[in-house]
């Protein structure tokens, strides 16, 4: 899973990126301190892996991984060259979703580029810059495709779709609101990698005082939630400053710190949960003496395609999958005991993989 982090300068974007990835992106109280896209790989927190690893005495644990791309702070007019311009937006065209960090706290010591804090205005500013960036991409693509369509009639439909998208964007709408009408057109629109076609997760960055109740008493957070609900986006509340402090602690200290704050989970946990929900993802597990590992798949994935995540040969030669729920396996104390109780099932090609399945694939190539 690959997520792109965007936001205006000084909303806590790079502070959040630093705390999530511990990658050390520079973070200062002035605009444009992130002048290159920073990339960090983050393991997905999953307590099941340690339990399964102990169960099997695994030599290695391999969690699922999220790749974060942090983009330099955008400002109004970036598409026309204001600030650093929007040259960095190309770096997030390949991401699965966009994490839009929105400032929902007042602090006279932290400058806001527009002079006041207004999360909905900030969202509109960033969205317009993404629209302008998409328009630029479409103009170039339409120009190329129109010439090719003169000798290839199949391209004429694509040109027509792109022109419809262009009109939609010019009216201030996102590409995700385009009604494709058929699967082929829908797939073509997605293939354009337009930024406004991507799912969005809003990270409402609040003060330390507002984090304990998940921003329930914060009017700005309420506005962001209402806005996100209207477009089918996810929202999670975070305090980037607290996440920065958490990043310096080991696991035991982190747990104590969260408990002292009255929190059940870290911002990273919230973000992963929101990302999996928005993108329709789930995980299955493989375990043994060599390695215990988590694999991320789309909900609804069938056993052969899940096997293909491990190796294409597994999918090509798929025969059966041995499946047991991880908690039932642990409760039984051994794989043999789980098998005796009938909890280990043999599943075929039509089996839809469930969250928490521990799977062993049988294949023949």
Stretch 241-245: mean pLDDT, rounded? 86
Stretch 252-266: mean pLDDT, rounded? 86
Is the pLDDT at 362 greater than 80? The verdict is yes
Task: Report how far residue 186's alpha carbon sits from residue 197's, in angstroms, rounded to the nearest whole number.
Answer: 11
Pairing between β-strand 345-347 and β-strand 318-325 as defined by DSSP bridges: antiparallel
Is the pLDDT at 30 greater than 70? The verdict is no
Is the pLDDT at 81 greater than 70? The verdict is no
Is the pLDDT at 12 greater than 70? The verdict is yes
Name, in order, each residue with C-beta under 8 angstroms of 128's C-beta and a sequence gap of 6 or more. Answer: 76, 172
Task: Report how far residue 154's alpha carbon sits from residue 157's, in angstroms, rounded to the nearest whole number.
Answer: 6
- Going through 21-169 in order, the beta strands assigned E by DSSP cover 38-43, 61-62, 65-70, 97-103
What pLDDT is recorded for position 8?
85
Is the pLDDT at 32 greater than 50? The verdict is no
- The neighbouring-strand residues paired with 302 are 352
Buried b (16+ CB within 10 A) or exposed e, 278-288: bbebbbbbbbb
Q: Give the lowest-confidence range in 20-24, 292-296, 306-310.
A: 20-24
State the burial class of residue 158 (Cβ atoms within 10 Å of its Cβ: 0-12, 13-18, 19+).
buried
Task: Report how far residue 20's alpha carbon sits from residue 201's, in angstroms, rounded to the nearest whole number.
Answer: 15
**pLDDT grade for 129, boundaries at 50, 70 and 90:** confident
Distance of CA 218 to the CA centre of its chain: 25
Q: How far is CA 103 from CA 9, 20, 161, 206, in A?
A: 10, 17, 36, 7
* Average pLDDT of the residues of the chain: 86
Single pTM value for the model: 0.82
- Residue 194 near residue 134 (C-beta atoms within 8 A): yes
Is the pLDDT at 328 greater than 90? The verdict is yes
């Amino acid at each position: 899973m690959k997520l792109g982090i965007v936001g205006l300068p000084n909303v806590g974007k790079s502070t959040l990126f630093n705390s999530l990835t511990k990658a050390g992106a520079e973070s200062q109280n002035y605009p444009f301190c992130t002048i290159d896209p920073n990339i960090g790989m983050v393991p997905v927190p999953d307590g099941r892996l340690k339990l399964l690893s102990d169960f099997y005495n695994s030599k290695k644990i391999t969690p699922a991984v999220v790749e974060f791309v942090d983009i330099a702070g955008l400002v109004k007019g970036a598409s026309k060259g204001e600030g650093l311009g929007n040259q960095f937006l190309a770096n997030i065209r390949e991401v699965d979703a966009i994490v839009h960090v929105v400032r929902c706290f007042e602090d006279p010591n932290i400058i806001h580029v527009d002079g006041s804090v207004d999360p909905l205005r900030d969202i509109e500013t960033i969205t317009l810059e993404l629209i302008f960036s998409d328009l630029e991409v479409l103009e170039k693509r339409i120009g190329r495709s129109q010439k090719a369509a003169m000798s290839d009639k199949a391209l004429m439909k694509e040109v027509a779709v792109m022109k419809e998208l262009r009109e939609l964007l010019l009216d201030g709408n996102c590409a995700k609101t385009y009604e494709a009408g058929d699967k082929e057109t829908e797939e073509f629109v997605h293939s354009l990698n337009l930024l406004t076609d991507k799912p969005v997760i809003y990270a409402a960055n609040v003060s330390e005082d507002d984090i304990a109740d998940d921003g329930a008493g914060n009017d700005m957070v309420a506005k962001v939630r209402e806005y996100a609900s209207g477009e089918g986006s996810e929202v999670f509340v975070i305090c980037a400053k607290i996440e920065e402090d958490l990043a310096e602690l080991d696991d035991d200290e982190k747990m104590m710190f969260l408990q002292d704050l009255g929190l059940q989970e870290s911002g990273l946990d919230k973000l992963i949960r929101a990302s999996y929900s928005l993108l329709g993802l789930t995980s299955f597990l493989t375990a043994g003496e060599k390695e215990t590992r988590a694999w991320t798949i789309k909900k609804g994935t069938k056993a052969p395609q899940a096997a293909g995540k491990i190796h294409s040969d597994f999918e090509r030669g798929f025969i059966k999958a041995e499946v047991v729920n991880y908690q039932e396996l642990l409760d039984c104390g051994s794989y043999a005991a789980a098998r005796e109780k009938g909890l280990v099932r043999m599943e075929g090609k039509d089996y839809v993989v469930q969250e928490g399945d521990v799977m062993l694939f049988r294949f023949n190539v």
